[in-house]
Amino acid sequence: MLPILLTFAIFLPWGLSFPVIPPTLQDDLNFFEDYFHRFFFTTEESQKYSLEDQLRFLQHFFRLEETGWLDEPTKALIRQPRCGVPDIADYSFFPGSPKIERNHVTYSIYNYPVGMKYERVEKIILKAVKIWSNVTPLKFQRVYTERSDIEFAFLRGGHGDGFPFDGKGNTLAHAFAPNPYYQGVVHFDRDEEWSYSHEGINLFLVAVHEIGHALGLGHSQDPNSIMFPTYQYQDPKYFRLGDDDIKGIQTLYYSGNKSQRVS
């Protein structure tokens, strides 16, 4: 933990026997601790590790230089908009590798974001599910019933699932692993500025990521993967799944039968 202590020592006033942490640095540390507890280890689990160890763990996951300091690249990364699903490592699955057990997958759209016509949202979601059907045996069907395999919804703040949204910025959306007993859900933060371009937050890119979760994928360490936790804009016209995405989803849905896989 020496690097952190050295950081504090810089701000040690003459005549005092303890470090005084500047408010801005304390805010950054508080933000990091909250981030780490939400997306990596719980508060209880984190007690086993020093702050330096936690910083190195996060830096290793995101392939940053492992300084053990709360340096500028680390601060910039944790402030980026991102998915609300906790991080694991590599291309990954949820515990137990749950998946949708049939190839015919239905989806519904509960409501629509402010400022976007519903016809455009429908087209964006259709394009997003096709990204995954193109490399799997899955076939998606839009339905208008209360019950579907995956429901898309735009919600604000606390919305009953234990994972409240935080308003504009930071957490953009979340989804839950496939469950044979409950309807799958993809929730978008309604307070975000959703768009179909580079402005605001591109709905297509976030939808592809969250559908990956709804199908059973966890997060990836590969920054070229759509399942990487943080949001990075790319032109949807030229979007392609990364090799890591394809390997992960095909491992889950082709059950090891490489002869059936498509690229």
Dihedral sign (CA 74, 79, 82, 88):
positive
Which pLDDT value is given to residue 255?
A: 65
In the block, tokens 């360490």 appear at: 221
Instruction: Indicate which residue of 52, 151, 192, 210 is catalytic.
Output: 210
The pLDDT score that the predictor gives to residue 181 is: 79
Question: What does the alpha-carbon distance between residue 229 and residue 213 come to, in Å, rounded to a whole number?
Answer: 11
Q: Write the pLDDT tens digit of every residue in 226-237.
A: 999 899 999 999
Q: How far apart are CA 87 and CA 260, in angstroms?
A: 30
pTM above 0.75, yes or no: no
- Domain borders along the chain are 2-79, 104-260
**What CATH number matches the domain at 104-260, 3.40.50.2030, 3.40.390.10, 3.40.1260.10, 3.40.140.10?**
3.40.390.10
How many CB atoms neighbour CB 232 within 10 A?
A: 13
* pLDDT at site 132: 98
Q: Would you say 84 and 173 are in contact if contact means Cβ atoms under 8 Å apart?
A: yes
User: How high is the pLDDT of residue 41?
Assistant: 76
**Angstrom distance (rounded) from CA 172 to CA 193:** 10
pLDDT at 12: 28
Helix %, strand %, coil % of the chain (to 5):
35, 15, 50
Q: Please report, rounded to a whole number, the percentage of residues in the chain having pLDDT higher than 70.
A: 85
CATH fold of 2-79 reads Muramoyl-pentapeptide Carboxypeptidase; domain 1 (1.10.101)
Say if residue 166's pLDDT is above 80.
yes
| Residue 2 predicted with pLDDT over 60 | no
pLDDT tens for residues 183-215? 889 999 999 999 999 999 999 999 999 999 999
Active site residue 210: yes
Question: In this model, does residue 157 exceed pLDDT 70?
Answer: yes
